[in-house]
Amino acid sequence: MAFTKIGVVGTGAIGSSVAADLTDAGHDVTIIDQWPEHVEKMRSDGLRINMPDLDLHVSVNANHICDLASIKPLFDLAIICVKSYDTKWAVQLIEPYLAKDGVLVGIQNSMNDDAHAEIVGRGRTIGCAIELSGDIYEPGIVTRNTSRSGTWLTVGELDGSITARAERLADLLSAVARTEVSTNIYGSKWTKLVANTMVMGPFGLFGLRNAEAARLPGMREISVSLGKESVAVGKALGYRLEPVFGLSAEEFSGGTDEVLLKAMDTLNAHVGEDAVTAVVQDQRKGRRSEYEFITGLIVKKGAEVGVRTPANSAVFEIYGQIDRGQLEMSPDNLDRLKMLMSED
């Protein structure tokens, strides 16, 4: 089936970028968002996405969550872009408005596809991994750090098959990013998660720009330790690493340390010098962050499969203290991190 009616649930930096690009490409896109001021601003002034090479301003069909019952849409494609902790209610919200032969895809961090499938069915679920950096601090305006050509996205059927609908979805999303179809979408998503544990994980402790955090003394070694643990947990769960961020198999070959550093350096290069990881953005906004679904997921799954994760556990412990208001984000947390890692 063709994706003629598209719903985007959650329009933070990623969701807004996706919705704006698809709208700009001429698709019929309905936005559903839980931030009232953002919806009203989009209705009155449109949606602005400031990219490194383009300032995009589009009129959009923006709706509050409470509008769904009255507009009664029926979507061929539902795109979920909420934070991981909001996944289940967002999918449950949109499920009655998804066509019986429609598709739901989550453009999110972490590993949420099985949760999607539990609600809408595996036959209506396609997986997705994305690398798109951006931030939103005021309604209706997004600063996107990665251009369309500098954004990477892969989609795939959960069973690893190549289907016409997955290829159609990749073609549709080429308005947003460079796209691929994967036969190993769980592996692609886990590899992205590994990179996130190396970057979003520790960098979020310091309150710095990514480029500044990456230059802290000993940070590369810490990131490699975090990545190795995440790889080991994934291997125990049956996942195999997959080239991501547009890297080829040849570029992604080599020893574990080399592969991890290649992924991390590519991610950092794509998002640019001024990028700030999402965890820092959330803390600045006074919002809950996704650390439980990034670093916390590695710690949780490691315990389940018997893989030790001392580095990720140390990051998770400090995150918890920041989240509870016991610590501030600060470069001083690097010493705390090193101390906790050395105690294991």
Rounded Cα gap, residues 212 and 23, in angstroms: 35
Q: What mean pLDDT is predicted for residues 277-303?
A: 90
Residue 1's pLDDT band (cuts 50, 70, 90):
low
Q: In what order do the strands lie in the sheet with 61-64?
A: 61-64, 28-33, 5-9, 75-80, 98-106, 125-131, 152-157, 178-181
- With beta carbons less than 8 A apart as the criterion, state whether 192 and 182 touch: no
Output the pLDDT for position 148: 96
Higher pLDDT, 188 or 343: 188
Query: What does pTM read for this prediction?
Result: 0.94
Output the pLDDT for position 280: 82
Higher pLDDT, 249 or 55: 55
Rounded Cα gap, residues 94 and 97, in angstroms: 5
H helix runs in the chain, sequence order: 13-24, 36-45, 68-71, 87-94, 113-120, 164-173, 185-198, 200-203, 210-214, 219-237, 256-271, 278-285, 295-305, 310-323, 333-343
Residue 344 has pLDDT above 80, yes or no: no
Rounded Cα gap, residues 226 and 198, in angstroms: 6
Q: How close are the terminal C-alpha atoms of the chain, in Å?
A: 54
Phi, psi (deg, nearest 5) at residue 134: -170, 170
Q: Tens digits of per-residue pLDDT, 222-236?
A: 999 999 999 999 999
Structural domains in the chain, CATH included, are 5-183 (3.40.50.720), 190-343 (1.10.1040.10)
Q: Tens digits of per-residue pLDDT, 194-226?
A: 999 999 889 999 999 888 998 999 999 999 999
Residue 272 has pLDDT above 80, yes or no: no
Tokens 């954004």 found at: 151
Output the pLDDT for position 268: 78
Q: Cα–Cα distances in Å, from 93 out to 33, 34, 131, 264?
A: 11, 12, 26, 35
- How would you class 343 by CB atoms within 10 Å of its CB: exposed for 0-12, middle for 13-18, buried for 19 or more? exposed
- Sequence-ordered list of residues with C-beta below 8 angstroms from that of 288, at least 6 positions apart, any chain: 83, 85, 282, 323
DSSP 8-state assignment for residue 208:
S
Q: What mean pLDDT is predicted for residues 6-15?
A: 97
Residue 261's pLDDT band (cuts 50, 70, 90):
confident
Output the pLDDT for position 334: 96
Q: Tens digits of per-residue pLDDT, 18-39?
A: 999 999 999 999 999 999 999 9
Output the pLDDT for position 18: 98
What percent of the chain shows pLDDT beyond 70? 99
Pairing of strands 28-33, 5-9: parallel
Lowest mean pLDDT among 93-107, 137-151, 267-281: 267-281
Residue 282 has pLDDT above 90, yes or no: no
DSSP characters for 46-75?
-EEEE-SS-EEEE--EEEEGGGHHHH---E
Distance of CA 206 to the CA centre of its chain: 20
Tokens of 239: 């996942």
Rounded Cα gap, residues 27 and 172, in angstroms: 9
What percent of the chain shows pLDDT beyond 90? 81
